[in-house]
């Protein structure tokens, strides 16, 4: 969807914000044994350092690799748009979940010699939430917000392409 580097940056920031927000709420709830109002405050506090980590990992690393992998499985313009979007989201989550679970393991769990087992458990716990949140909520929400924010610029680019 983004057509320029600036749009890529904004799209990446929006996607990162909503993914980190949900995953921090989720993981804080797991650590506390339930979702509480205090958990929301803790999740917001954790976002202060998890958001930059996630943005750098996603924007600088995964966003360079994921499209190539995804588009080898589903081709834009050839396959249905919903398939292409879902494959892209799935590949991105499959790459980001282990990366962000690594950071969460290091920062929040301090597992010592049990690092690999704890990291793997964190991936297994986080992957279903990350995948379904991305496919059904975050992805559609961010695409809607992005299209709304850049409506005139996206239309102009589409008209220029159709000429």
- Asked if 74 and 92 count as a contact pair (C-beta separation under 8 A), the reply is no
pLDDT value of residue 20 = 96
Q: 64-96 burial, b if ≥16 CB within 10 A, otherwise e? A: eebeebbbeebeeeeeeeeebbbbbbbbbbbbb
The pLDDT-based confidence of 52 (bands split at 50, 70, 90) is: very high
Cα(73)–Cα(133) distance, integer angstroms = 22
pLDDT value of residue 157 = 67
In the predicted structure, residue 114 carries a pLDDT above the cut 70: yes
The pLDDT-based confidence of 4 (bands split at 50, 70, 90) is: confident
Query: Between 161 and 59, where is the model more confident?
Result: 59
The average pLDDT across 113-126 equals: 96
């Amino acid at each position: 969807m983004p057509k320029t580097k600036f749009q890529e940056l904004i799209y990446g920031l929006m996607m990162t914000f909503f993914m980190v927000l949900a995953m921090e709420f989720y993981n804080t709830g797991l650590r506390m044994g339930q979702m509480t109002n205090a958990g929301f405050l803790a999740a917001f506090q954790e976002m202060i350092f998890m958001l930059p980590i996630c943005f750098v990992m996603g924007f600088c690393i995964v966003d360079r690799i994921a499209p190539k992998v995804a588009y080898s499985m589903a081709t834009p313009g050839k396959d249905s748009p919903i398939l292409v979007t879902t494959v892209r989201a799935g590949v991105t989550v499959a790459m980001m979940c282990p990366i962000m679970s690594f950071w969460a393991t290091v920062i929040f769990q301090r597992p010592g010699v049990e690092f690999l087992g704890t990291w793997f458990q964190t991936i297994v716990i986080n992957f279903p939430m990350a995948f379904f949140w991305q496919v059904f909520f975050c992805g559609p929400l961010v695409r809607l917000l992005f299209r709304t924010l850049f409506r005139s610029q996206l239309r102009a680019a589409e008209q220029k392409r159709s000429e």
